[in-house]
Amino acid sequence: MTADTPARDGVDPKVLKTALILVVGALAVVFDTTIVSVALHRLATSLDVPVSTIQWVTTGYMLALGAAVPLSTWALTRFGGKRVWMFALTVFLAGSVGSSLAWDAGSLIGWRVLQGLGGGLMLPVMTTLIMQAAGGHALGRTMTWVALPGLLGPILGPLVGGAIITDFSWRFMFWVNVPFCVAGLILAGRYLAKDTPDAAAARPRLDVWGLVLLVPGIVAVLLGLSDAGAAGFGRPGVLAPLAIGVAFLIAFTVHALRRRDPLVDVRLLAARSVGSSTAVLFLSGFSLFGAMLLLPLYYQEVRGVTALTAGLMLVPQGIGALLSRQIAGPLTDRIGAQSIAIVGFVVVAAATVPFAFVDATSDGWLLALWLLIRGVGLGAVTMPVMTASYVGLARAEIGHASVLTRIAQQVGGSFGTAVLAVVLEQAVAGDGPGAVVAGFHVAFWWATGFSLLATALCVWLPGIKQVRAAAAAASAAPPQPVKSGKSSV
């Protein structure tokens, strides 16, 4: 491949094979998150506990998910990608089976935390292994496979979850994960490249102080943000964990800058590709993930539909994201992420505006069309921005970039959801039958504004010159051998 023809190169068949193997297992994590989100009321009733208690089924899972992410880079270097992937998938499988057999709310929350620990390792490990296999070539096309679970989950998860809750026991929600986990383990064990580190090589030491500072910092911030969505940002129960979390994150940053081999190399944020992508992914949480809170609530609270029906009505958005996925990947390889992401955020903003005027009688088919368009914009944002974070990185830096972008996406999503939840709660506080509708109008205007703000940040993303320079460097670099044993990709 030359710098002038980066888009002509497709995804290497070996890279594609690696991606397909990993995507099978990763689908369990994405489906699990979206399925359980529609079942909290049913779980509270079945286990005879208040919603405030059962909410920890989701909160505990998300906290564990965030806590495990920083360990992925060290674990990959210490044990090898295949071992870490299969270990994480096994942990997630055990948590799924345990959740299905839970005897009360406390045991269900405990098993969900175990699930989160496995899932938190799986997601950055999947991204790192696929992008390392790509070796800097056809990153946009490669990222379409990395993003596939995240695109399918919001489409199928609520539908499957709603159907199970309507016709079956809630325990079947967690058995949905089992086939994906078992198939993922079999495929990984048989076909994934063996990359066990050389026994004679020096073993990387775990940055214990980094772990002590970073993990509690992430957990505290996520905990504060999860409570802020229901209680607002002014309460001590929200401000205290947020302040503690930020203090720990600042301390970790200082520590990481002084250490040669930190748990997560924050120095990568100085690189344009990583720094710009991390900032855009954080801010995109306000416009993308925050709006995902508003849309199902609008259908349920304003239009009065069930959770299953609300999930069906959101399907067009997922379809739009899948459609644009086929275009955004190759285009990113050709012209870079900058212009694609700008157009994507503009489309997202434009397709959100109609929801700032809707009421209970708005044409459902017209809203479905706007959701389809909004989905096209979402697909044109997430993949190019994620791809941009790996432009020009060395193989050893990819794992750190995966962790940084994953943390930014998760914290930004939680922050955006909390902000729009507070905006919505304050906006619907008025009297009269139209207060709820007017409140949603205000919240959707805020989501539109955040999309436009993210558009401005996209100017910082790598453009075509950076993409071509990175492609030329990747082509000139000698191939990096990957140790393989009995099984190989």
Which residue would you say has higher pLDDT here, 472 or 1? 472
Which tokens hold the place of 176? 């949905």
| Closest of 374, 350, 387, 378 to residue 276, by C-alpha | 387
Q: Which of 3-12, 27-36, 39-48, 461-470 has the lowest mean pLDDT?
A: 3-12
pLDDT interval class at 91 (50, 70, 90): very high
Instruction: Give pLDDT, residue 206.
Output: 85
Contact 54, 40 (CB under 8 A): yes
| Closest of 6, 181, 206 to residue 95, by C-alpha | 181
The overall average pLDDT reported for the chain is: 80
Instruction: Give pLDDT, residue 85.
Output: 92
| CA distance linking residue 98 with residue 301, whole number of Å | 33
Which residue would you say has higher pLDDT here, 232 or 344? 344
Instruction: Give pLDDT, residue 489.
Output: 34
Evaluate if residue 87 carries a pLDDT over 90.
yes
Which residue would you say has higher pLDDT here, 232 or 268? 268
pLDDT interval class at 435 (50, 70, 90): confident
Evaluate if residue 110 carries a pLDDT over 60.
yes
Read off the pLDDT of each residue in 73-81 and give the average, rounded to a whole number: 87
| CA distance linking residue 486 with residue 2, whole number of Å | 34
| Closest of 253, 233, 239 to residue 421, by C-alpha | 233
Instruction: Give pLDDT, residue 185.
Output: 93
DSSP class of 194: P
Instruction: Give pLDDT, residue 115.
Output: 93
Instruction: Give pLDDT, residue 467.
Output: 59
Select the highest-mean-pLDDT range: 184-188, 386-390, 392-396.
184-188
Contacts of 105 (CB under 8 A, 6+ apart): 43, 47, 49, 53, 54, 56, 57
- Cα–Cα distances (Å) from 177 to 32, 87, 127, in that order, read 7, 16, 20
Read off the pLDDT of each residue in 415-442 and give the average, rounded to a whole number: 78
Read off the pLDDT of each residue in 296-301 and give the average, rounded to a whole number: 82
pTM metric for this prediction: 0.80
Cα dihedral sign for 407, 410, 416, 421? negative
Evaluate if residue 363 carries a pLDDT over 90.
no
pLDDT interval class at 152 (50, 70, 90): low
Instruction: Give pLDDT, residue 296.
Output: 80
| CA distance linking residue 459 with residue 350, whole number of Å | 19
pLDDT interval class at 95 (50, 70, 90): very high
Read off the pLDDT of each residue in 168-175 and give the average, rounded to a whole number: 83
pLDDT digits (tens, 9 = 90+) for 410-427: 888 888 888 888 888 777
Which residue would you say has higher pLDDT here, 213 or 36? 213
pLDDT digits (tens, 9 = 90+) for 179-189: 889 999 999 88
| CA distance linking residue 16 with residue 141, whole number of Å | 10
| CA distance linking residue 227 with residue 406, whole number of Å | 21
